[in-house]
Amino acid sequence: MSQRDEKLSEEIRKLAAEYFSRESNRTSLITVTNVEILSHGSRARILMTVMPETQEAAVLDFTHRQLSDLKAYIHENSRIARLPFFEVGIDVGEKNRQRIEQIEKEL
C-alpha cells in the first residue's frame, strides 16, 4: 500500500468511527478496525467489528443505509479531494484473531 493510500485509509477510518459512534443507537458497540483502499483509490471498504456478535446483521443494515450521509460527513470534515465509493463489511480477520486469542487463554 502506498503512503497516499495509507493516509487516505487512516483519515477515512477515523472519520467513519466518529460518525458511526455519533449516529448509532448504542445498542451495540461498532468499532471501525480498518479501511481497505481498492481500485487505485476509487473504492474503500470500511471493515468493522460489532459487539455483541448477534447484532452484526442489524449493524450492517444500519451502516449500508448511512453510507451517503457518511460520505457527506467525510467530505465536510476532511480535505480529501476525490472521495471513493464506500462499502462496509465485518472484519473477519479480526474476528478470527480474537477467537485464536480466546482459545490460547483457555489452554
pLDDT at position 99, please?
84
Give domain 3-106's CATH number out of 3.20.20.140, 1.10.443.10, 3.30.300.20, 3.40.50.720. Answer: 3.30.300.20
**Cβ–Cβ under 8 Å, residues 29 and 51:** yes
Task: Assign residue 75 a region (left: φ > 0; alpha: ψ between -120 and 50; beta: otherwise).
Answer: alpha
pLDDT at position 13, please?
97
Residues 6+ apart with CB under 8 A from 4: 41
Q: What is the pTM of this model?
A: 0.87
Residue-by-residue pLDDT tens, the chain, 107 positions: 789 889 999 999 999 999 999 999 888 999 999 999 998 889 999 999 999 989 999 999 999 999 999 999 999 999 998 999 999 999 988 878 888 988 998 88
pLDDT at position 2, please?
85
